[in-house]
A and B are shown apart, each in its own frame.
Chain A
Amino acid sequence: MLPNGTLIGEMISFAILIWFCVHFIWPHINKAIEERQIKIAEGLNAAERAHAELKDADHKVAAEIKVARQQASEIIDKAQQQANQIIDKARGEAIAEINRLKASAQDDIASMAQRARDQLREQVGALAMQGASKIVQREVDASTHKALLDQLAAEI
């Protein structure tokens, strides 16, 4: 049986329907599909980017922590050095002060000893005079024998 006029007419209408679908319905579906694909691709990309950024940030943070730690240790070293220096300096100053004090004390001691010796010498001279006067039963003129007495005192 050959296709008759009815079938031909229907086929023409069907062709128009197909044309309509191709031009007015399928593009909408196609657009939805493409938009969805783009949206998903963008979402995945964004996620990947965020992931990479996070990794980057992690690296940066780690590096910065390392630097900070290094700086901190440097500061501590420097502080320690400074402290040592201060201590050394203080020690040097203290030793110098001690030496100075010691020297002045020794000077004092020496001068005091000298003075004591001088006094003693004088007293010994006087005592000798008294003793001698008593021995000779008369006053010895101190001034006459001063040279003799001084000589005696210096010999002591």
Chain B
Amino acid sequence: MASEPQGGLTEYIQHHLTHLTPHASNGGFWAVHIDSITVSLVLGVLFCLLFWLKARKATAGVPGRGQAFVEIVLEFVDGQVKDVFHGDRRFLGPLALTVFVWVFLMNAMDLLPVDLIPWITEKFGVGHFRAVPTADTSMTFAMSITVFVLIIFYSFKAKGFSGYMSEMFTAPFGKHPLLWLPNFALNLVELLSKPVSLAMRLFGNMYAGELVFMLIAGLFSAGAGLAGWALYGAGIIGYTVWGLFHILIIGIQAFIFMVLTIVYISMAHDHH
């Protein structure tokens, strides 16, 4: 518990890194992370609601502040898609927008004080609650595997089954039958590395960020007396500085996830 410093920093961090799971699951496959699901759903609904409300009332005239903000975000994302992908953006544009805003919002949960939400949930009898869904591999892999499925889908759609298969076996080395296996192995590694790198990059950044916040938070209860207060001040400074730096990280990670999604799906459309 955050309130018992005698448990030590290790216990404090371990406590904070434990997901909220159903009691009956006993750590099995159905030990779903209720906290990640709840936060991501709430943020997803929030995103949809905000953009839907603004889109519904969108005017061709001078936009209100909310509409102008939505337009700026939309234009930014659409510009990124346009730069990379030259084709029908009716699906890829909204996908990129969803990925960007959703990941950004989930990352932004990292800026909330690490003890705030667990402290609130504790009032309702929920001991463990991790507020950052993107610091959960389940969440990041859920997104990256969805992107992976889309990559496969668009590869087949753009090239046909035979076209895609022939590409898998004949590129990049050549058409010789002896090269079929090396070609396929290389393409398979390339293909599978995409969702793994996509998910692990985001997870790694957010998990590390959360962990650094927890380590700095450890300073708040590290000592007693004058030294304790000095460490407390250092904790506030460190926590703030890391928070400021983290504003950059949450934006960049959301941006990277979006751009790579666009790039991967756009590559699926390209012929080698």
Contact = CB atoms under 8 A, between A and B. Distances in A.
Contacts of B62: 37, 40-41, 44
Interface string A11-22: 111101100110
Interface in A56-104: none
Contacts of B244: 17, 20
Interface stretch (B92-100, B111-119, B158-166, B169-177): B111-119
Given A9-B232, A14-B113, A32 B72 contact: yes
A6 B221 contact: yes
Interface stretch (B31-39, B63-71, B132-140, B186-194): B63-71
Chain B facing A: main interface SS:
helix
A6 B5 CA distance: 9
Interface in A98-145: none
Contacts of A20: 240, 244
A10 B113 contact: yes
Contact of A33 (B72, B116, B122): B72
Nearest to B12: A6
A13 B72 contact: no
Given A7-B113, A7-B115, A37-B62, A13 B243 contact: yes
B82 to A, nearest CB: 19
Contact of A10 (B1, B61, B114, B247): B114
Contacts of B217: 6, 9-10
Contacts of B123: 1
B195 interface: no
A11 B5 CA distance: 18
Interface residues of B, number: 33
A44 B5 CA distance: 62
Contacts of A37: 62-63, 65, 68
A13 B114 CA distance: 11
Given A1-B119, A7-B115, A36-B71, A16 B2 contact: no
Chain A binding surface, main DSSP class: helix
B236 A13 contact: yes
B116 A14 contact: yes
B235 interface: yes
A33 B70 CA distance: 10
Nearest to A24: B244
B116 A10 contact: yes
B51 interface: no
A6 B112 CA distance: 13
Contacts of B112: 14
A24 to B, nearest CB: 9
Nearest to A42: B62
B156 interface: no
A36 B111 contact: no
B72 A6 contact: no
Nearest to B1: A1
8 contacts: A1-B122, A2-B3, A4-B221, A6-B217, A9-B232, A11-B116, A14-B116, A16-B243
Given A6-B217, A17-B247, 12 more contacts: A1-B122, A4-B2, A4-B5, A5-B232, A8-B220, A9-B217, A14-B111, A17-B240, A33-B65, A33-B69, A40-B68, A44-B62
Interface of B: 1-3, 5, 61-63, 65, 68-69, 71-72, 111-116, 119, 122-123, 217, 219-221, 232, 235-236, 239-240, 243-244, 247
